[in-house]
Amino acid sequence: MMEDYMIRVLTKNKQIRALAVRSTNLVEEARQIHKTTPVATAALGRALSAVSMMIALEKSGEKIGLRILGDGPLDRVIAEANMDGEVKGFVGNPQIDIMLNEKKNEKKLDVKKAIGNGELYVRKMMGLKEPYESKIQLISGEIGEDLTYYYTKSEQVPSSVGLGVLVDTDSSVKAAGGFIIQLLPDTPEETISKLESNLNSLGSVSRLIETGITPEELLDKVLEGFSYDITKVTEVEYNCSCSKGQTLEIVNTLNVDEIKESLKEDGYVEVTCHYCNESYRYNEEYLKEHLEREW
Ligand code: ZN
């Protein structure tokens, strides 16, 4: 099986920064953990592919989180990535019914309908410093277009984000990946129109990935006519490094009465990590020692 990885490049004329990822295995791993239906797999897979690239636009030591809260049946899409290429996520309702929209005689999973209207949040976590979060209204619900809008409006960097997840007939992930293109300051008009023409002739990202295309070959197409240097390569994988200590944060969101009730009834409080479904049990002794709360 071909490994998943992300590359970041800079064109030799220093006018365009670009990233591309192949995330097929990581999205399939997410599907198996969360038992997502095809449309939920597509939404989660796009978000996971996005954060696996977005992190490479940040400074070292940071983590990036993407949160999409919509009024559609999927409820929410959460994804997070760190500098080591560890990516994880979940959706609010992984079991929603398959939804297809028929466009141009091609059946397409209706991610937009699954997400609905709402907001997209990007959270940057920088070690011990306060996390920085910004939000935009969803403009499409397809995630790629929303992130294009996020970078262009919120970060004021003209960008284009393409994401694709292709689900096989047996519901497994056949292909997943994507790209992010950003214009650096003072890019001349001719560069912009060449890029736009490349993007218009690109077609579906997931279909391209399905052909076995590498991130380099994907960028060769997006950046046709430009030569570039690769500035970063990171292997990416689905990995939740949660621990009993970290997951205590979830217990901390419960009120004291709920905690006491669980302790009385079961002798422990049990919480399950949203990202990997691992369960942790906390007894009274542990909670009194580790939870900074009034009892
Ligand atoms: Zn976990």
* Rounded Cα gap, residues 89 and 110, in angstroms: 20
**Rg for the chain (alpha carbons), in Å?**
20
pLDDT per residue as tens digits for the range 152-193? 999 999 999 999 999 999 999 999 999 999 999 999 999 999
**What is the predicted pLDDT for the residue at 107?**
62
Q: Measured in angstroms, how far is the CA atom of residue 197 from the centroid of ligand 1?
A: 42
Q: Are 252 and 283 in contact (CB under 8 A)?
A: no
Q: How far is the CA of 193 from the centre of ligand 1 (A)?
A: 44
Q: What is the whole-number distance in angstroms between the Cα of residue 94 and the centre of ligand 1? A: 17
Residue 243 CA, ligand 1 centroid: distance in Å: 7
Q: Distance, CA 207 to ligand 1 centroid (Å)?
A: 31
Residues 252-284: tens digit of each pLDDT: 888 889 999 999 999 999 999 999 999 999 999
Pairing of strands 76-82, 62-70: antiparallel
274 alpha carbon – ligand 1 mean position (Å): 7
- What is the end-to-end Cα distance of the chain in Å, rounded? 52
pLDDT score of 204 more than 90: no
Q: Judge contact between 228 and 255, C-beta under 8 A.
A: no
| Mean pLDDT computed over 36-62 | 94
- How many A from CA of 50 to the centre of ligand 1? 20
Distance 89 CA to ligand 1 centre (A): 10
Tell me how far the alpha carbon of residue 152 lies from the centroid of ligand 1, in angstroms.
Answer: 33
Rounded to the nearest angstrom, the distance between the alpha carbon of 275 and the centre of ligand 1 is 5
Residue 106 pLDDT level (bands cut at 50, 70, 90): low
Is residue 96 within 8 Å of 40, Cβ to Cβ?
yes
Rounded to 5°, the CA angle 176-179-182 comes to 165
Structure-block tokens of residue 122: 């990007």
pLDDT for 294 equals: 73
C-alpha 46 – ligand 1 centre gap (Å): 20
* Distance from Cα 278 to the centre of ligand 1, integer Å: 6
Percent of the chain with pLDDT over 70: 96
Distance 239 CA to ligand 1 centre (A): 8
Which own/partner pairs from 26-31 qualify as long-range (CB within 8 Å, at least 24 positions apart)? Answer: 26/52, 26/87, 26/176, 26/236, 26/237, 26/238, 27/165, 27/173, 27/176, 27/238, 28/172, 28/173, 28/176, 29/237, 29/238, 30/88, 30/89, 30/238, 31/171, 31/172, 31/173
240 Cα: distance to centroid of ligand 1 (angstroms): 5
Nearest CA to 2 out of 216, 222, 240 is that of 216
Segment 39-53 shows an average pLDDT of: 97
CA atoms within 13 A on the CB side of 157: 16
The residue that leads in pLDDT, 94 or 104, is 94
